[in-house]
Amino acid sequence: MKQFQYIRPATQQSVLEAIAKPGTQIIAGGSNLVDLMKHGVMSPDKLVDINKLPLRGITPAKSGLHIGALALNSQVAEDKQVKEKFPLLSMALNAGASAQLRNMATVGGNMMQRTRCPYFYDTSMPCNKRIPNSGCGALEGFNRMHAIFGASDKCIAVYPSDMSVALAALDATVLIAGRKGQRRLPFTDFHRLPGNTPEIDNNLAKDQLILAVEIPDNNYAKHSYYLKVRDRASYAFALVSVAAALDIDNGTIRGARLAMGGVAHKPWRLTEAEKSLVGKPANMASFEQAAQIAMQGAKAYKDNAFKLQLGPATITEALQHAAGLV
Amino acid sequence: MKEEQLLNIPGDYTDGIDRVDGRQKVTGAAKYSAEFNLPGMTYAVFATSNITKGSIKSIDTKAAEHAPGVLKVVTHLNAPKLPGYETGKDPSKPATGGGPLKLFVDNSIKFNGQPIAMVVADSFERATFAASLIKAEYTKEAHNTDTAKSLDKAATPKGPRFSDYKRGNPDDWKTAPVNLEAEYILPTEVHNPMELSAIVANWTAADKVEVYDKTQGVKSTQNAIAQAFKLPPENVHVTTKFVGGAFGNALRTWPHEIAAVMAAQLVKRPVKLVLTREQQFNSVGYRPYTWQKVSIGATADGKLTGIIHEARAQTSTFEEFTEGTVNMTRFMYACPSVGTIYKVIPVDVNTPTWMRGPGEATGSFALESAIDELAAKLNMDPIELRVINHADTDPENGKPFSSKNVKEAYQMGADKIGWKNRKNKPGSVQEGGWLVGYGMGSGVFGAGRGRATVRATMQSNSTLLIQTSVTDIGVGTGTAMTQIASEVFDNYPIKKIVFELGDSSLPPSPTQGGSMITSTVGGAVHDACTALKQKFQQVIGNGGTDKPDYAKVLKEKNLPQLDVEITSSGSSEMRNYSAYSHSVHFVQVKVHPKTGVVKVSKVVSVADSGHIVSPKTARSQIVGGAIGGIGMALMEEGVIDHRYGRYVNADLAGYHVPVHADIPQIDTLFVNKPDFKVNPMGAKGMGEIAIIGMAAAVANAIYNATGKRLRELPITPDKVMMA
């Protein structure tokens, strides 16, 4: 890898000043960035280590929970408040990566992780995300792991996070700091679809910093489940994953949250399928109908047609688990 | 949990000594080849081709040469001509034809990832950076890396070993009352041991070089380097104290090893070269993609009437790599009519090599799946079908087996896993929303004994020193040899035995591979220790006891030490027998009916490999092989994008091997009946049989659980779901 500078500012202000300059790159846990640097995919001139910032806390917020951007994945997964209020998030985190990686990776870093598309990683291959207009290697290449929703002919990569699938389902909000102050962004608006600009993963500007995510209180804790289907039991990205959360009253669904991972360039929230579940009995027929609605508009490529079948299977299975029927 | 409870895991083998180097390994004291650091060390890093076939038109190394810390950039334009650029004798040489890749001799590109330049710098990071600055222009030629689409290009390899085999009338399968024909596919698999291939090379004089190398055979590496640089072999000193897994990828001397020695000669400083994980995929072999077809027929009561087993496997365009994929079908079962056909397909890739259970691991997936399919068609228990067709003598040559206790192994494994709970009708057992199935498969591998030389020395401090050049690739050779020496010396204390290995200046032993070492080197250790004991009796003269105080004897006789050096090999009597190790693997799987996820929930592996010399390390061998077999069945596949000829999963995130969470309790059972025809310990090898047959056992269990027959590995969830 090429030589780079490394700084570790102590204040948010100095971080914001540093990242406003070209060639800089924030590093937190580094579990993805260091790999990308070794592969020559990213080659920043200066790393801005933000680990000195006080962003590690998990604290109650006004009707919800505030999770600092530097909270470790393992720390969040095992946090008592998280497990009690949002077990779905804990399950999703524990389904991701390996114990060693979860001990390094942060919430903000997890949001910022980049696709694992092999064509993005191999600098000898074409990739519009790595080098705009160089072509998409995956479109007609090895695309077993790739998107079935929201892809474009420029990019069919998927966003790999498990944590974010749960956060999308849980109506989380992202707190972002810039030099002009703070802003809030719905979690589902944070990541982008590739469109004509696959090089842009998300809506965080170059000179902005993720401070935290906040999750509003809900009634889903009793009936939620994260199901990740993958090629091996740990340290493998999802073929398809589903975050399912239900609010069930006397056998009837009062509210539902559903999101999928491994299927799109962002966590794929399934709002139409959620709506279809409201007022229905918590049974297989309702779940199957929701799954059918969820899959509308799905499009497969050469190697990933199985996702059209695995998608609904995973949705119904996750809903059955969430409803306590399995 | 108390320690004794931990040790008493069901199926665990608590007998026998602890691994003699276990403490070194778990504390980090064990020194692997890449960990040797010499004063003035420099670091070599390759730049590699990103085209698959063609030639280098021009190569720009200026930026690299001027990068900080760079001492030398080697390309085909400036590389010295090595006086004898060829690798050593078998197994360094290819199995049949062609010649190994020679680096930097010309501008031709034979596969993607081939080294085109080597940078030597004063640090690894600087060498890596400088290598990234090298830019090559190529003349591209059309390439082909797609073995699956090139089956029609298969040709029979040279040499009698691979000509078509025929006994009786193999086509009899066609007219059998019950028959089937099925195709099986095994993808390219990459060894991926934890330890990356690494070499440290240092010229200590103009004509003398020392290397610390990851190799399975220090003598073979010594010969290969000596030949390449035209040195007397004794001027090449190869040390390999520990190997962090190899599984066959260090059986031969590869181009990077020669390149590192060349680099050290050029910069006149020690050079360290460690391949990256990605480079491992293109540098040190792999198990070749293999298409197979089995045609098999039986009478209504299950007597086999004919089998044809055909295989076509990937090789490179410049070397004809071959292995005995179809050979086991000739002798595994008592069948009057058998035909085997083996062919290779040259494609634009690096040369494959032996990978654990070479040939048979691939062949057994097809044969043992086909036997299971036949049993299903006959509506017969697959063990019963195997028992009906048990070969009492070797059907290939009519010789008796030196020993064979497979029927007993079937029974032991069946009892242990609860085979009686298996329903012959697939898809008939459900448990908590998962389909449950049982399957089994058997393995076999030759159990010979080769030649080895061992020096045994009783030192004045009563240390028994055993020396030979063999490497221990992690299997526990050091432990097993110590155990044998102790037994010959009337249970001599383990702590007083030192087994020195992994050094080319020690008496010669063969390369570690092919399940030969316990038999071959163990036999020589046995013979050397026996001879040393006899020598002591002679020294003592009349009135010697069975268990003399050796230190006292040496002191009384005024001897600094007493030693013997013995070369021994198998007896000529062995020619009258067929000698094999056998294994039988049983698995229980749970398959999710909707998502296709497969969980291996129970494993029982039974080894019929003679007397078990070192129970603990033997158990580890079997456990490791079983895990390798599960990976083979469910996960492992090196994927090439054939448009570019490049791997798209050349790392451990993309190339899946099992993680702990994939592996259940593995019960290992040993028939443990000595076979003294093979060697004086009665022991036979077990490294290969640990994996051979396991992939079929898993696939057969998936069939039993679901009724779905998966004939293409790896059996990933999507394949199960879509079948």
B41 closest CA partner among B280, B297, B269: B269
CB atoms inside a 10 Å sphere around CB B283: 24
Q: Which of A218-222, B130-134, B513-517 has the lowest mean pLDDT?
A: B513-517
Residue of B nearest to A120 (CA): B648
Hey, what amino acid is at B63?
A: A
Contact residues, chain A, for B632 at CB < 8 Å: none
Q: Is B654 at the interface with chain A, CB within 8 A?
A: yes
A310 closest CA partner among B39, B154, B717, B55: B717
For residue B78, pLDDT over 70 is answered with yes
DSSP state of A293: H
Interchain proximity A236–B656, CB inside 8 Å:
yes
Q: Rounded to 10 degrees, what is the CA torsion of B481, B483, B488, B489?
A: 110
**Nearest CA-CA distance, residue A135 and chain B, Å:** 14
For residue A43, pLDDT over 60 is answered with yes
Predicted-complex ipTM score: 0.97
User: Mean pLDDT over all residues of chain A?
Assistant: 97
Sign of CA dihedral B628, A35, B72, B268: negative
**Nearest CA-CA distance, residue B149 and chain A, Å:** 16
For residue B90, pLDDT over 50 is answered with no
Interchain proximity A239–B717, CB inside 8 Å:
yes
What confidence tens digit (pLDDT) does each residue in A156-174 have?
999 999 999 999 999 999 9
For residue B85, pLDDT over 80 is answered with no
Q: What pLDDT does residue B543 have?
A: 64
The Cα–Cα gap between B651 and A35 comes to 11
Beta-sheet pairing, B561-568 with B198-205? unpaired
Token readout for B104 is 């930097």
Structural domains of chain A, ranges and CATH numbers in brackets:
5-51 (3.30.43.10), 221-322 (3.30.390.50)
Contact residues, chain A, for B718 at CB < 8 Å: 144, 239, 306, 310
For residue B371, pLDDT over 60 is answered with yes
CB-CB contact of B19 with B677 (8 Å): no
Q: Is B596 at the interface with chain A, CB within 8 A?
A: yes
pLDDT band at B673 (very low <50, low <70, confident <90, very high): very high
Beta-sheet pairing, B115-121 with B70-74? antiparallel
CB-CB contact of B311 with B339 (8 Å): no
Q: What pLDDT does residue B8 have?
A: 37
For residue B21, pLDDT over 90 is answered with yes
**Nearest CA-CA distance, residue A66 and chain B, Å:** 32
- Chain B segment 351-390 residues within 8 A of A by beta carbon are none
Q: How many residues in chain B?
A: 723
Interchain proximity B635–A232, CB inside 8 Å:
yes
Q: Is B50 at the interface with chain A, CB within 8 A?
A: yes
For residue A139, pLDDT over 50 is answered with yes
Q: What pLDDT does residue B15 have?
A: 73
For residue B638, pLDDT over 50 is answered with yes
CB-CB contact of B680 with B528 (8 Å): no
Most B CBs within 10 Å: which of A122, A139, A227, A240, as the mutation test of the B interface?
Answer: A122
Q: Where are the beta strands (DSSP E) in B317-422?
A: 319-320, 338-347
The Cα–Cα gap between B494 and A193 comes to 65
Structural domains of chain B, ranges and CATH numbers in brackets:
403-447+579-723 (3.30.365.10), 452-569 (3.30.365.10)
Q: 3-state DSSP call for residue A216?
A: strand
Interface residues on A facing B, Cβ-Cβ cutoff 8 A: 1-3, 40, 98, 116, 118-119, 122, 124-125, 137, 140-142, 144, 229-237, 239, 306, 309-310, 313-314, 316-317, 326
**% of chain B with per-residue pLDDT over 70:** 96
pLDDT band at B91 (very low <50, low <70, confident <90, very high): very low
CB atoms inside a 10 Å sphere around CB A285: 9
Token pair 């163990």 is found at B522
The Cα–Cα gap between B74 and B687 comes to 39
Q: What pLDDT does residue B10 have?
A: 38
- Among A141, A234, A326, the residue with its CB nearest the CB of B433 is A326
Token readout for A152 is 């474009």
| DSSP β-bridge partners for residue A252 | A249, A281
For A97-115, the DSSP string reads S-HHHHTT-BHHHHHHPPP
Task: Count A/B contacts: CB-CB distance under 8 Å.
Answer: 84
Mean pLDDT, range B297-312, rounded to an integer? 98
The Cα–Cα gap between B332 and B50 comes to 44
**Nearest CA-CA distance, residue B510 and chain A, Å:** 37
A156 closest CA partner among A171, A175, A140: A140
Interchain proximity A309–B721, CB inside 8 Å:
yes
Q: What pLDDT does residue B160 have?
A: 78
Token pair 């990851």 is found at B214
| DSSP β-bridge partners for residue B198 | B274
Active site residue B431: no
Q: What pLDDT does residue B159 have?
A: 78
Mean pLDDT, range B579-597, rounded to an integer? 98
CA B152 to chain centre: 29
Q: What pLDDT does residue B89 have?
A: 45
Q: What pLDDT does residue B542 have?
A: 72
For residue B4, pLDDT over 90 is answered with no
Residue of A nearest to B662 (CA): A233
CB-CB contact of B661 with A233 (8 Å): yes
The Cα–Cα gap between A176 and A212 comes to 7
The Cα–Cα gap between A116 and A272 comes to 28
Q: What pLDDT does residue A62 have?
A: 87
Interchain proximity A306–B721, CB inside 8 Å:
yes
Q: Is B129 at the interface with chain A, CB within 8 A?
A: yes
**Nearest CA-CA distance, residue A12 and chain B, Å:** 32
For residue B37, pLDDT over 90 is answered with yes
What confidence tens digit (pLDDT) does each residue in A66-86 have?
999 999 999 999 999 999 999
Most B CBs within 10 Å: which of A124, A145, A237, A316, as the mutation test of the B interface?
Answer: A124
Identified catalytic residue from B320, B323, B636, B688: B688
Interchain proximity B641–A3, CB inside 8 Å:
no
Hey, what amino acid is at B432?
A: G
pLDDT band at B16 (very low <50, low <70, confident <90, very high): confident
The Cα–Cα gap between B163 and B643 comes to 33
Token pair 């009690």 is found at A84
Beta-sheet pairing, B464-467 with B497-500? parallel
**Nearest CA-CA distance, residue B657 and chain A, Å:** 8
Beta-sheet pairing, B304-316 with B338-347? parallel
Mean pLDDT, range A46-64, rounded to an integer? 97
B640 closest CA partner among B118, B149, B255: B149
The Cα–Cα gap between A221 and A230 comes to 25
What confidence tens digit (pLDDT) does each residue in B323-360 have?
999 999 999 999 999 999 999 999 999 999 999 999 99
Contact residues, chain B, for A119 at CB < 8 Å: 648
CB-CB contact of B253 with B91 (8 Å): no
Hey, what amino acid is at B680?
A: P
The Cα–Cα gap between B368 and B514 comes to 21
CA A127 to chain centre: 21
Interchain proximity A3–B649, CB inside 8 Å:
no
Mean pLDDT, range A5-30, rounded to an integer? 98
Most A CBs within 10 Å: which of B597, B649, B660, as the mutation test of the A interface?
Answer: B597
- Among B128, B595, B641, the residue with its CB nearest the CB of A141 is B641
Give exposure, B600-626, as e/b (b: 16+ Cβ within 10 Å). bbbbbbbbbbbbbbbbbbbbbbbbbbb
A310 closest CA partner among B705, B382, B114, B596: B596
Q: What pLDDT does residue B84 have?
A: 81
Mean pLDDT, range B244-262, rounded to an integer? 96
Q: 3-state DSSP call for residue B210?
A: strand
Interchain proximity A310–B660, CB inside 8 Å:
no
Contact residues, chain B, for A316 at CB < 8 Å: 594
DSSP state of B54: E
The Cα–Cα gap between A93 and A162 comes to 6
User: Mean pLDDT over all residues of chain B?
Assistant: 94
Q: What pLDDT does residue B96 have?
A: 55
CB-CB contact of B426 with B706 (8 Å): yes
Interchain proximity A234–B660, CB inside 8 Å:
yes
Contact residues, chain B, for A306 at CB < 8 Å: 718, 721-722
- Among A141, A231, A317, the residue with its CB nearest the CB of B717 is A231
